[in-house]
Amino acid sequence: MTMDRRSVLGLGGVLAAGVILAPGLRLIAAPEDVTEASDKRRWGMLIDTTQCNPACTACTQACRTENNVPLTGDPERDIHWIRKVELHSKDGGKPDRSLPVLCNHCEHPPCVHVCPTQASFIRKDGIVLVDMHRCIGCRYCMIACPYKARSLVYSTPSIPGTPNRKVPMRAKGVVEKCTFCVHRIDDGGQPACVEACQKEAKGGMLFGDLNDPQSEISQRLRQVLSTTIRPDLGLKPRVHYQGI
């Protein structure tokens, strides 16, 4: 059997590619062993309320499963990291807009300023977090937050049947809130609500780096008319809304 020059070269190329790819053959890259939050990034969200269906609970459900936030059955003490809010017109008409409200991860978060134990803090990449190891459950932050984004754990939570083992439960007597799914972000992923909205709903939620002018969210923020909730408070929230 004879081979012409081209097929020999081609075969060589395929073999070489095989040798290079085979040892580390992985379709989805695993995160590196050591990663660190970078102060060059500012995570933010843009929510297109025109795409938000009042009956849809994809984002809130996804959040509950991802972060082990079960409903307690007592509406006054239920924990919400993200909740659906209906907008009424000022003349008391029917609600005409529905939108999810979550922690706004403000640039100047009042919850962090009032925290007496420094349990609430701003991470380098702008995410506002609660260090559960330090929280004493005084609830100053809940009073300070204008977005009602925080909840107190009133009783020892029941662990869901198939918990997400990557996210710890919270003990009785701490305050908890949305983390922007920090464990997913650190692995290069997206928050669970955003992923669910894109998969199960119309994809009205967009998440990305506000510091990167080339990121999709930065480009969209330049193109569309958007606002934040209560911009007059001067907290500079990083959750932006389009269509309200």
Per CB under 8 A, residues contacting other proteins are 31-37, 121, 123-125, 129, 131-133, 159, 163, 165-166, 168-171, 182, 186
137 vs 163, beta carbon nearer other proteins? 163
DSSP 3-state assignment of 101? strand
**Nearest Cα to Cα of residue 102 among 120, 85, 82:** 82
Q: Edge to edge, what strands does the sheet with 226-227 contain? A: 205-209, 43-48, 239-242, 226-227
How far is residue 71's CA from residue 61's CA, in Å, rounded to a whole number?
A: 10
Minimum distance between the CB of residue 205 and other proteins, rounded to whole angstroms?
Answer: 23
Minimum distance between the CB of residue 91 and other proteins, rounded to whole angstroms?
Answer: 47
169 vs 233, beta carbon nearer other proteins? 169
**Nearest Cα to Cα of residue 240 among 105, 58, 129, 71:** 105
Minimum distance between the CB of residue 21 and other proteins, rounded to whole angstroms?
Answer: 23
Radius of gyration of the chain from its Cα atoms, rounded to whole angstroms: 22
**Nearest Cα to Cα of residue 208 among 193, 225, 189:** 189
- Structure token pair of residue 78: 């239920």
Minimum distance between the CB of residue 123 and other proteins, rounded to whole angstroms?
Answer: 5
Minimum distance between the CB of residue 107 and other proteins, rounded to whole angstroms?
Answer: 17
7 vs 117, beta carbon nearer other proteins? 117
DSSP 3-state assignment of 202? coil
22 vs 30, beta carbon nearer other proteins? 30
52 vs 129, beta carbon nearer other proteins? 129
Cβ proximity of 164 and 67 under 8 Å: yes
